[in-house]
């Protein structure tokens, strides 16, 4: 298993829904979690490893001061489960209030830029045990989940970067893309 790098067409494909949580899906989630840990990531989506399935893995254990204040149900529920795999995750609601955060991506090594996203989101997903969950999350957990869900729709964080900020990283992006050709 290897992480697809910016320029790879797999990263722009829309992922397919997972209809059954099979042993293969559970194995994929385990392998993705291991890969994410090897690369010191906090999230990874199946399309980033060339698998067009709606599966993300997350491992985020924040310090108390990094949690949204007050802590959301999603944070209190999910953080003890970390690392966690989410099947067919979707954003069903998002706050009008936004937050700007410098994001990076395992598919774009050493490239970082500010991205504005909704501060809080409500997510619907399934866990590997087939339990359907709905949860609200804010802060960095919200950003991580939104970033990974974007991957399932073929959207990269650079697609959400303002043009003035994108111009600052364009040379690095071009170099990264050209090294993969």
Cite the active site residues: 148
The CA–CA distances, whole Å, from 109 to 28, 106, 142, 178 equal: 22, 6, 22, 14
Distance of CA 68 to the CA centre of its chain: 18
Q: Could you give the 3-state DSSP secondary structure of residue 126?
A: strand
Q: Which residue in the block uniquely carries the two structure tokens 């989410």? A: 86
Please state, in angstroms and rounded to a whole number, the distance separating the CA atoms of residues 164 and 108: 19
């Amino acid at each position: 298993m290897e992480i697809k790098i910016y320029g790879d067409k797999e990263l722009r494909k829309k992922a397919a829904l997972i209809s059954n949580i099979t042993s293969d899906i559970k194995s994929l989630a385990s392998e993705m979690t291991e890969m994410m840990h090897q690369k010191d990531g906090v999230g990874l989506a199946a399309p980033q490893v060339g698998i067009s399935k709606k599966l993300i893995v997350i491992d985020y254990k924040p310090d108390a001061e990094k949690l949204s204040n007050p802590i959301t149900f999603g944070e209190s529920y999910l953080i003890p489960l970390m690392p966690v795999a989410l099947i067919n995750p979707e954003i069903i609601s998002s706050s009008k209030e936004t937050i700007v955060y410098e994001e990076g991506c395992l598919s774009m090594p050493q490239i970082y830029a500010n991205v504005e996203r909704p501060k809080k989101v409500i997510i619907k997903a399934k866990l590997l045990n087939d339990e359907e969950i709905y949860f609200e999350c804010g802060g960095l957990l919200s950003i991580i989940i939104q970033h990974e869900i974007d991957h399932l729709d073929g959207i990269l964080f650079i697609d959400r970067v303002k043009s003035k900020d994108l111009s600052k990283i364009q040379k690095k992006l071009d170099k990264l893309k050209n090294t993969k050709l």
